[in-house]
A and B are shown apart, each in its own frame.
Chain A
Amino acid sequence: MMRNLFEVRELTKIYRKGGVRANDRICMDVRPGEILGILGPNGAGKSTLIKQMTAMIAPTSGTIRYLGRNVTAEPLEVVRRLSYCAQDPYAITSLTTRDALVYTGRLRGMSPSDARARACALIARLQLEEVAHTRVGRLSGGQVKLVGIAAALVGRVEALILDEPTNALDPAKRRLVWDVIVQRNREEGTTVILVTHNVLEAEGVVDRVAVIDYGRLLGLDSVGRLKDMVDERLRIEVTCTFGRRCVAERALKGMGFVEVLGENRLRLYVDRDRAGRVLDQLVANGEEMACEEYKVIPPSLEDAYFLLGGKERIGHAG
């Protein structure tokens, strides 16, 4: 049986300032080679969790083991084997992008030639060629973020821990970053731990998801199984004939639970064993039932996230 990369047990972190309980008895494992997403609203305790996993801060109680090593007892050994990209902007601002990456690689123990080769490859992959010879301090916020991600990727490490890696990036660059992360994971078998509150983006990337809120682990499972948790029922979104929503609502009520979404939009929840029959009925009698269009909505990771506890906080934030 393969050994877990991280084993987190009863991890609790209470900050001395203010006595905030940022993590509360978290127990979780990270498997080698997987991409694990840590999701949760702002202030949920995600960053605190990974700062403890990367030995940046000490837990108040509980343990974290990295391949059997106690992270708090052997921090340097652990830091050697993983790369952490914090939310803070990249620190080396006086060097050019290329030199900054080479120096970072060298500080990670790489030979000069290896660091140079790796830096050049990353510059090309992250489309930073134009700013390769520009000082990092002169780059835009998004470009600095990309350089920070490249710096995390430059070392040959077993695990990558990325805290909100796509913040401050435009949609094209965000997609590029996800692609690069997945590529690293597939090609080099690097385990990736992603901290994000961007549920929709994370869905296409992660293998498993840990949902955290109020410092607690609310759920940890594969994306598919978390989605299954959301609802056993099929969701069908129906667009009604304008002005005839009541007719449609009456007709659909006999098939399942109906939720009104808007002036001419309804959502129908149907038990999966009856789904086929309901869809047949919609196809056959749609006009009569004042249903112009319908589409089946599969449960998303966002639904799972909301179900597990993110909803209330997001609602307040939003």
Chain B
Amino acid sequence: MRDKVSSPVFTEEERVGLRRGVQRLREVWILLSIQFAEVREEWHWIVLMASLFPFTTLLFFRFFVPDPSAEMIQRMVTGNMVFALTIMGVNTMAQEIARQREKGHFTFYASLPISRLSFVLAIFARGFLTCLPSVLILGVLGQLVFGLAFTLNPGIVPVVLLSLLACTALGSIIGFVSPSPATASLMGQLLMMFISFLTPVMVTPEMLPAVLRWIGSIFPTTYIAEALRIVLFQGWTPQVTQNALLLTVYVAIGFYVVARRVDWRVEA
């Protein structure tokens, strides 16, 4: 008769690791569900608010800029997508984080046996969900208003993903470093206007004074605008790779800063 007791497939250590991995996945899923419920509650306002401003700007250019060049149109469309991103990813996210922080919401999560990493992932996922609709809407409306045709490149997916996460990271950092929700709101709005109109988002860098070009290079939105424009109208190029790498660095820095700043329990 065959011996039924065979050596285990996994060692005890591996089994513990697996269990922990499954547990992490489960908690990320539950936290995501909670964050999704928060977004779901007000998604129509999110879409309306995030689309209205950039769409108005888009129409303004359509009506008042006579005979724009193809490149200008491309910049207007992608620039307004970035405008939508700064509204939702930076401004709204900063306000929301500051509000939750003031109300002590993070203390509740820190008191649960969940990891800080899972929680920060959920915060970023919330930002992603908040930004996505307006970016998509602006893309579609931009095509309709200016009769553009985007190249359907699979590279669009990682660029959009990184763009959304980089803006979320910036918004989250503002939310965590602001002493109050009012300050976060003020900082978010200032940045939103500055980034959209005084950095190379809707215009070429050459059109701006050197100091604004230099300041613009600090913000991820400069690289987002360029990466989106190229990938949507030309496909994946080395410049997109460069921008994507820079955005990855922004996301990583943002993730690190948020993880450090979130009100969490002590760690061994």
B107 at the interface (CB under 8 A from A): yes
Instruction: List the B side residues contacting A94 at CB < 8 Å.
Output: 34, 37-38, 40-41
Bound complex: CA of A86 vs CA of B263, how far in Å? 14
Assuming the contacts A57-B266, A76-B113, asked whether A103 and B107 have C-beta atoms less than 8 A apart, the reply is: no
A65 at the interface (CB under 8 A from B): no
Bound complex: CA of A226 vs CA of B219, how far in Å? 62
B110 at the interface (CB under 8 A from A): yes
Bound complex: CA of A149 vs CA of B41, how far in Å? 24
Assuming the contacts A103-B30, A103-B34, A106-B30, asked whether A91 and B266 have C-beta atoms less than 8 A apart, the reply is: no
Q: Which single member of B23, B103, B112, B265 contacts A88 (CB below 8 Å)?
A: B103
Check B109–A91 contact: CB distance below 8 A: yes
Instruction: List the A side residues contacting B110 at CB < 8 Å.
Output: 56
Instruction: List the B side residues contacting A74 at CB < 8 Å.
Output: 268
**Nearest opposing residue in chain A for B118, CB measure:** A107
Instruction: List the B side residues contacting A86 at CB < 8 Å.
Output: 104, 107-108, 111
A97 at the interface (CB under 8 A from B): no
**Nearest opposing residue in chain A for B266, CB measure:** A58
Bound complex: CA of A91 vs CA of B103, how far in Å? 8
Q: Is the interface of A mostly helix, strand, loop or mixed?
A: loop
Check A79–B265 contact: CB distance below 8 A: yes
B32 to chain A, nearest CB (A): 11
**Nearest opposing residue in chain A for B108, CB measure:** A91
Bound complex: CA of A92 vs CA of B119, how far in Å? 13
**Nearest opposing residue in chain B for A152, CB measure:** B111
A12 at the interface (CB under 8 A from B): no
**Nearest opposing residue in chain A for B29, CB measure:** A106
Contact mask B206-246 → A, CB, 8 Å, 1/0? 00000000000000000000000000000000000000000
Instruction: List the B side residues contacting A93 at CB < 8 Å.
Output: 38
B33 at the interface (CB under 8 A from A): yes
B259 to chain A, nearest CB (A): 15
Instruction: List the A side residues contacting B104 at CB < 8 Å.
Output: 86-89, 91
**Nearest opposing residue in chain A for B35, CB measure:** A94
Instruction: List the B side residues contacting A124 at CB < 8 Å.
Output: none
Instruction: List the A side residues contacting B152 at CB < 8 Å.
Output: none
Name the residue in B34, B100, B110, B267 with the highest tally of chain A Cβ atoms < 10 Å from its Cβ: B34
B135 at the interface (CB under 8 A from A): no
Check B112–A79 contact: CB distance below 8 A: yes
Instruction: List the B side residues contacting A58 at CB < 8 Å.
Output: 266
Q: Which single member of B38, B105, B106, B112 contacts A104 (CB below 8 Å)?
A: B112
**Nearest opposing residue in chain A for B38, CB measure:** A94
**Nearest opposing residue in chain A for B107, CB measure:** A86
Check A75–B265 contact: CB distance below 8 A: yes
Name the residue in B30, B38, B112 with the highest tally of chain A Cβ atoms < 10 Å from its Cβ: B112
A129 to chain B, nearest CB (A): 21
A277 at the interface (CB under 8 A from B): no
B18 at the interface (CB under 8 A from A): no
**What are 6 sample pairs from A and B whose C-beta atoms fall under 8 A apart?**
A56-B107, A87-B104, A89-B104, A94-B38, A107-B30, A107-B112
A residues within 8 Å of B by Cβ?
Answer: 54-58, 72-76, 79-80, 83-84, 86-95, 99, 103-104, 106-109, 135, 137, 151
Q: Apart from A76-B113, A91-B105, A94-B41, what 14 extra A-B contacts exist at CB < 8 Å?
A: A58-B266, A75-B266, A79-B265, A86-B104, A88-B108, A89-B104, A90-B108, A93-B38, A95-B34, A107-B112, A107-B114, A108-B112, A135-B41, A137-B41
